[in-house]
Amino acid sequence: MATQENYQIKLPQFEGPFDLLLFFIERDELDIYNIPITRITNDFLTYIHQQEKLNIELSSEFILFISTLMRIKAKMLLPRKEVDAQGNEIDPRQELVDKILEYKRFKEASLQMAELEATRMLMVKRGNLTQELNGIGEDAAEGTEIQSVTLFKLMKTFERVMQRLHERNNKPVHTVIRYNYTMEGSREHVLTTIRNGRTVSFEKIFEVCEDRIHAIFLFLGLLELAQQRYMTILVGEGKNNFIVEWNDNRAEELNLTEAEAEAPPQDLYQQDTALQFPELTDNGSNNENALDDTTITPEL
């Protein structure tokens, strides 16, 4: 039977609750001597919930630290404040501030020592072949390119991946259906049916319907033709019985209109004009009297 092994992972960013608290203070540029307990408590709770979503086990130090923050918050809400021997009001946050300052001093000292160590590591004695080989192996090792990756960067990237996966799985899908009939074809079918039958029942027009959408197309075509007075919808015998009747007058009117539209336009400038000229005499000269009496009359 296989036994489950417990792995302890040490994150380089936050080694404890004070490290995380110092990160929040520096990130939000808070006054270390006037810490907003409510805001810091909410940040800690958000951090713990995010770790729970990622199935990362937190040490008991974080839980204990949150309880300490809540205890400080409760003391600040009390109407009667605690006072010292001199009668001065005691700030419940003072103990926390002292611990943060002490932790900050130790952290800065450790960073300075780490810088000194890194500087010293760059100073290699001549002939130290073993250290040179170790350095080459470390540079060529896998995973060296992710040394600068922090926990929060990984968390943000993972959250974006999960969000994109959720959006992709819940992306709305639109189905476009292409029908074999059109509005013009449906209108032409209704027009042909009524023109051939002269008088047809309302139900006969929809005998060719393939589905609900086809019936809607035919009904819209029928309404359009009725609006253009190609036909007349009458009430027949019985209940909800309608009859569609062809309108011959409208058809003749439309035919005449189409014939006039297809006829070539007449040229108003090409009109016959009757001109009367004076008669010539035998010698070829014009008769002056006749010329005076001659008028040019255009036919309008």
What is residue 265's predicted lDDT score, i.e. its pLDDT?
Answer: 46
At residue 290, the pLDDT reads 46
As given in the structure block, the two tokens for residue 206 are: 């929809």
pLDDT-flagged residues of the chain (< 70): 1-15, 53-59, 80, 83-85, 87, 124-129, 131-133, 135-149, 236, 238-240, 250-300
CA 47 to each of CA 23, 54, 58, 190: distance values in angstroms, whole numbers, following the listed order: 12, 11, 10, 70
Region at 74 (left for phi over 0; alpha for psi -120 to 50; beta for the rest): alpha
Length of the chain: 300
Tokens describing residue 250: 């409208």
User: What is the rounded distance in angstroms from the CA atom of residue 113 to the CA atom of residue 75?
Assistant: 39
Full set of structural domains in the chain with CATH: 12-82+90-120 (no CATH), 183-262 (1.10.10.580)
| Single pTM value for the model | 0.33
What is the b/e burial string over 157-171, where b = at least 16 CB atoms within 10 angstroms of the residue's CB? eeeeeeeeeeeeeee
Q: Phi, psi (5° rounding) for residue 23?
A: -65, -45
Q: pLDDT for 152-204, tens place per residue?
A: 778 888 888 888 888 888 888 778 777 777 888 888 888 888 888 778 777 78
Interval 256-285: pLDDT, tens: 555 544 545 444 334 444 444 455 445 544
Token digits for 109? 């000292």
